[in-house]
Chains A and B, each alone.
Chain A
Amino acid sequence: MRYLSEYRDPKVARALVDEIAQTATRRWTLMEVCGGQTHTIVRQGLDEVLSSSVEMIHGPGCPVCVTPLEQIDRALHLASRPDVIFASFGDMLRVPGSECDLLQVRARGGTVKVVYSPLDALELARRTPNKEVVFFAVGFETTAPANAMAVWRAKELGVENFSVLVSHVTVPPAIVALLESPDNRVQAFLAAGHVCTVMGWEEYEPLAAKYAVPIVVTGFEPVDILEGILMAVRQLEEGRHEVENQYVRSVRHEGNRPAQDVIGRVFQLVDRQWRGIGMIPMSGLGLKPEFADFDAELKFGLGGITAIEPPECRAGDVLRGRLKPHDCPEFGVRCTPENPLGAPMVSSEGACAAYYNYGRYDPATADREA
């Protein structure tokens, strides 16, 4: 923990806030890609103290939020089967499907287990050979290596009652989709430090050059984020558009090669539906044909399960930074963490949850709210 406290030092943070204010000659619009960063920003009130120099818009980097509705419905279907133990990271349990969520399925008798690692799910499968164990493999490049490793190990050990429901996505195609969008307002990106720990930042260099946009690989603590913002603002002020690395204690240019190798051995790039955003070509990871035996979609014939997203949830606009969570008409009205319309309201990385849980006390609106 000691290594973390220096990145939370209020004095250092306040000095950075001042420096950003002095550096910015105008108000810039930045997007933090990752939901973890969104939560630090809103939790610590960084957007509040920076509001005169930068506008932070919150990106699509919440794996829970972008997992398509039909994948959630497939998960719910599997978890309801008496022969299945459905294993998932805790985040996914409250994400609403078309009809209900995994917690409700569990209450009705489904077996849903929270695991901290896909390898725990594999171990569970080995211990309970009379049940099918399905792991919900979601996430960006950050969780992909461990999930790939679980599938690799399952094949190596011949664990036949283990499979994964895959909904992996990758960051660069999402950044391209945002930049190509005609109403894009983002002038610089904070790239997600954990994703780059795995992937490095080579793949961001052509993006920075082609779209003339600064990209700063950034960590997750308040001081990290403020430093990342300062580096991005400096680039914007100086008219540069490079990929820079703030998160030097974790990220190397080439990333983590062994982790990339295991991803490459098990997964391949596929078209992927993003909840609220739509299809982004070659933006997801799917199992390679030689691992088809471990693909829960094939094993349980889930192809027939499709879903239509409810129109009242504007998660897509939130995930693309077009709409601030509290500007959504349903925010806090019909959509709350208890009764969410969409995933961003319940994920620990969701922007709507961040605004709802860490909402500001604003004296100006206090009378109205009281």
Chain B
Amino acid sequence: MASDSQPDAPAMTEGIVCPTPAPTDDRVQLGHGSGGKMSAALLRDRFLSRFTNDELARLGDAAVVELNDGDVAISTDTFVVSPLEFPGGDIGSLAIHGTINDVAMMGAEPQYLSVGFILEEGLSFDVLDRVVASMDTAASAAGVTLVTGDTKVVERGKADRMFINTTGVGRLEDTFRPSPEHAKPGDHVIVSGPIGRHGIAVMAVREGLEFEVEIESDSAALTPLVRALRETVGSAVHVMRDPTRGGVASALNEISSAAGVGIELEDHAIPVPEPVAAACEMLGLDPLYVANEGIMVAIVAEEDGDRALTTLKSHPLGENAVRIGNVVAEHPGMVVLRTGVGGTRVVDMLPGDQLPRIC
């Protein structure tokens, strides 16, 4: 940075003159990433004021957490969503829910989180504070503790205001180990709620689309649903997945490939909220491929399928849970959907993002 500090450079005298120092209190500046006093203030005023627990307060290079004997699940995810705030959530709650859900889908009880922030110079503290508050609320509600973190500040233009990485760990029980390769013919395929809300909520804000009914992201921690399933049907739950990017269709394709089984869906059973259906209709998107952040796909042994569904439905997060199909022995690695007219079609993976169509 030494080359920048040439006091007599002509540009400083003839060009843009900054008569008074810019206010330092309402925005992220590069100095906040320096490791000096400003960094310490950022940490103290913006993060530690919210995330309060003994382990984090020690400010060690790493958190020390107790692990009992047995396995833990670890997952990391990085969040770059734009806009930072959208109906039903923001990048902060998403960063908590997303990672918690990944840990929970392994059957684990998420306990600890780490967080890494990449902040762009110029980010307003108002936004940062709202995001941090929302993270705190989301983490507390889900019963996880944020025990270690890191902050970097990058020059304006090097990041889109704010990126967040979170890593979560959670303890596993020996008797509850759902995994994609465990899907078996005869299993019920259940979704815990209506599909497509997160992707459409974000897209609506990003593209400035207005719908009669505002669509809210479904962003939520799935921990309570996982806990309920573990307690009622336990090992009958063969697979759990949160169908985020790529939607339900991609998650089911991954499961059918991993387990070497086929999956058969009933078109009429797939729960698409009317506003999501309308938005997809308009944009030329298929809700089966739209991202979700607060629902799960559960694949459950046939004999316990109905009980699992009842369990999900008894919880507010899963009250609209519904069985959408079955695992079958035929067409391994392939997801097939039966249409209302009685035809069938293959629901394949998409090569890339869905692209809105012409007309």
Give chain A's interface residues, CB within 8 Å of chain B.
1, 4, 8-10, 13-14, 17, 36, 42-49, 63-64, 89-94, 103, 114, 116, 138-140, 142-143, 194, 222, 226, 336-338, 347-349, 356-361, 363, 366, 370
Contacts and interface: CB of A to CB of B under 8 A. Distances in A.
A91 B283 CA distance: 11
B248 interface: no
A45 B341 contact: yes
Q: Which of B339, B344, B348, B358 has the most CB of A within 10 A?
A: B358
B340 A8 contact: yes
Contacts of B341: 10, 13-14, 17, 44-46, 49, 222, 226
B359 A90 contact: no
A91 B343 contact: no
B15 interface: no
Range, interface on chain B: 20 to 34
B355 A93 contact: yes
Contacts of B7: none
B277 A366 contact: no
B19 interface: no
A1 B355 contact: no
Nearest to B275: A1
B351 A44 contact: no
Contact of A14 (B281, B342, B348): B342
B107 to A, nearest CB: 31
Interface of B: 207, 209, 268, 274, 277-278, 281, 283-284, 330-332, 334, 336, 339-346, 348, 350-352, 355-359
Nearest to B331: A361
A222 B124 CA distance: 50
A43 to B, nearest CB: 6
A91 B357 contact: yes
A45 B344 contact: yes
Contacts of A42: 345
B274 A1 contact: yes
B358 A358 contact: no
Contacts of B331: 361, 366, 370
Contacts of B284: 90-91, 348
A154 B284 CA distance: 27
Contacts of A46: 341, 343
A136 to B, nearest CB: 10
Contacts of A359: 345-346, 348
A6 to B, nearest CB: 12
A45 B351 contact: no
Nearest to A8: B340
Contacts of A47: 343
A93 B358 CA distance: 11
A357 B356 contact: no
A160 B331 CA distance: 57
Given A10-B268, A89-B358, A91-B358, 4 more contacts: A64-B358, A91-B356, A356-B348, A359-B348
9 contacts: A14-B342, A44-B341, A44-B343, A46-B343, A63-B358, A63-B359, A90-B358, A140-B359, A337-B350
A23 B185 CA distance: 41
Contact of A48 (B274, B343, B351, B359): B343
Contact of A1 (B278, B330, B352): B278
B344 A360 contact: yes
Q: Which of B268, B283, B334, B359 has the most CB of A within 10 A?
A: B359
B244 to A, nearest CB: 21
Contacts of B350: 337
Contacts of A9: 340
B277 A89 contact: no
Contacts of A49: 341-343
Contacts of B356: 89-91, 114, 116
Contact of B340 (A13, A139, A338, A360): A13
B275 to A, nearest CB: 8
B232 to A, nearest CB: 34
Contacts of A337: 350-351
Contacts of B357: 89-91, 347-349
A94 B355 contact: yes
Nearest to A103: B352
Contact of B352 (A17, A94, A143, A363): A94
A1 B279 CA distance: 10
B345 to A, nearest CB: 4
Shortest 7 CB-CB contacts between residues of A and residues of B: A45-B343, A10-B340, A90-B355, A90-B356, A358-B345, A348-B357, A338-B351
Contact of B339 (A44, A194, A363): A44
Contacts of B334: 361
A36 B330 contact: no
Contacts of A36: 359
Contacts of B342: 10, 14, 17, 45, 49
A13 to B, nearest CB: 4
Contacts of B207: 116
Contact of A366 (B330, B344, B351, B359): B330
A175 B153 CA distance: 61
B86 to A, nearest CB: 18
Contacts of A48: 343-344
Contacts of A8: 340
A247 to B, nearest CB: 15
Contacts of B277: 1
A349 B345 CA distance: 16
B358 A360 contact: no
A222 B340 contact: yes
Contact of B345 (A4, A103, A222, A360): A360
Nearest to B284: A348
Contacts of A116: 207, 209, 283, 356
B171 to A, nearest CB: 40
